[in-house]
Amino acid sequence: MTTRFENGIVVTLGPNNQVIWNGSVVAEGENIIAVGSASELQKRFPDAETLDCSGKVVLPGFICTHHHFYSTMARGMAIPGEPASNFVEILERLWWKVDRALDEEDITLSAQIPLIECIRNGTTTVIDHHASPGMRDGSLDLIENAVRQAGIRASLCYEVSDRNIMGGGVEENERFIKKIGKGDGQIAAMMGLHASFTLSDETLERCVGIADDAGVGCHVHVAEDLADREDSLQKYGIPTVHRLEKMGAAGPKSLFIHCVHIDDSEMDLIAATNTSVVHNPESNMNNAVGVTPLFQLLKRNILVGLGTDGMASDMLAQMRCAYLLHRLANRDPRVAFLEAPKLLLENNPAIAERQFGIRLGELAEGRPADLAIIDYQPPTLLSEANFLGHLIFGLVDATVDTTVCRGKVLMQGKKIVSMDEERIAARSRELAPRMWQRLSAL
């Protein structure tokens, strides 16, 4: 099937970014076969189905390089006891109970809801990090099914840690990595690790061995809070990144999430091993853990991407949060205008390419047909030269109208077509109180 997405303002992004007014993107099957002026492509592809994009900007679908679908049912929940006063207490009182309380249907719903939110926000690719110690084996299959039904792309992993039992989750990762193999461009697999401070050398060694044999990377939280750094220094005499690198967890396919509390020598090591870092500014602010040394990482040519850490699925909002945070943290209004969009628009596609083996983030012939089509009437001229200004101050607050992934329309006219949003939310509201009750007994 051939479809012309026509009459929109097409912003191609990629190395030769072009802004085409009255433009069209023509998709056939899963890929783009032409990008150009609407009138020209109408002549070239007269028999194609059409989807009118006038009054809209057509962009490549967005990518989230760190998410936690499983956190959904914590929304609106009262946390028993005193408020958590630090990061470790947040884990102990909230997240390490949420994940243990999830049952089979909760896992599916917890994935379906953020998947709907991804589609609503034009996010067509996600790298997720899952935990559900109460229902572990087979949990990644439940999420895979939800992702395939939603129609977006996702790289999945299970969060291994020694906090409940030694090596909890190793087998689930190994099974899923073997099942997915090289992947089909829609689903990929990684070795998921919680963090240095919940992993013994023995468990790390097992996980790295499995990841190496399968040729996949490790997806691990790194020095999110000072506690992770202090634990590594105290137990192993070296900081977190040095320990993880020594155990073999670094490398071009690995993702080091957060990297808030790392020193110069650790940044040098991340650069030397070509490991990617994922920055999650909203989550860091919410947990009050500190500010990732973003510019020092970028100065070393480290590939730094942008994630939401389960807080949300809106990548434009996350991009603007990074922009604002680093201006304030540096007390310098000259910075972050180029860097924050670069994390989202250039670096996230490069990270996704390392996981999925395909080049996303660009509207061009031969590239995947993943599109975010956004309601936006530019109040000033919009061109290649000033696109970032429109992105940070305009498009960020505009509404996504239509989302396309792998050539399939997943939302049109703001109506999700691949899933029954109302039924899923209603069922989640029904099950959440039971999950909260199980949680309060933990």
Positions touching Zn ion (CB under 5 A) are 309
Least distance to Zn ion from the beta carbon of 310, Å?
6
266 or 309: CB nearest Zn ion: 309
Using the CB atoms, write b or e for 376-396: b if 16+ within 10 Å: bebeeebeeeebbebbbebbb
Cβ 261 to Zn ion, closest distance in Å?
15
| Least Å from the CB of residue 125 to Zn ion | 17
Work out how close the CB of 67 gets to Zn ion at its nearest, in angstroms, rounded to a whole number: 8
Tell me which residue has its CB nearest to Zn ion.
309
Closest CA to 131 of 183, 43, 195, 78: 195
For residues 282 and 309, which CB has a smaller minimum distance to Zn ion in the complex? 309
Smallest gap from Cβ 195 to Zn ion, in A, equals 9
Query: Which of 310, 349 has the CB closer to Zn ion?
Result: 310
Least spacing, CB of residue 221 vs Zn ion, in Å: 5
Contact 42, 6 (CB under 8 A): yes
Structure tokens, 437: 């009750």
**Residue (231 or 309) nearer to Zn ion, CB:** 309
Q: Of the two residues 3 and 287, which places its CB atom closer to Zn ion in the complex? A: 287
Q: Which residue, 127 or 142, is less far from Zn ion as judged by CB?
A: 127
* Closest CB 308 distance from Zn ion, rounded Å: 9
In SS3 terms, the chain reads as CEEEEEEEEEECCCCCCCEEEEEEEEEECCEEEEEEEHHHHHHHCCCCEEEECCCEEEEECEEEEEECHHHHHHCCCCCCCCCCCCHHHHHHHHHHHHHHHCCHHHHHHHHHHHHHHHHHCCEEEEEECECCHHHCCCHHHHHHHHHHHHCCEEEECECEECCCCCCECHHHHHHHHHHHCCCCCCEEECEEEEEHHHCCHHHHHHHHHHHHHHCCCEEEEECCCHHHHHHHHHHHCCCHHHHHHHCCCCCCCCEEEECCCCCHHHHHHHHHCCCEEEECHHHHHHHCCCCCCHHHHHHCCCCEEECCCCCCCCHHHHHHHHHHHHHHHHCCCCCCCCHHHHHHHHHHHHHHHHHHCCCCCCCCCCCECCEEEEECCCCCCCCCCCHHHHHHHCHHHCCEEEEEECCEEEEECCEECCCCHHHHHHHHHHHHHHHHHHHHCC
Between 6 and 159, CB nearer to Zn ion: 159
Q: Which is nearer to Zn ion, 117 or 309 (CB)?
A: 309
In whole angstroms, the minimum distance from the beta carbon of 224 to Zn ion comes to 7
Output the smallest distance, CB 309 to Zn ion, in A.
4
Report the residue number, 6 or 309, with the smaller CB distance to Zn ion: 309
Q: Closest separation between CB of residue 434 and Zn ion, Å?
A: 25
Q: Which is nearer to Zn ion, 224 or 362 (CB)?
A: 224
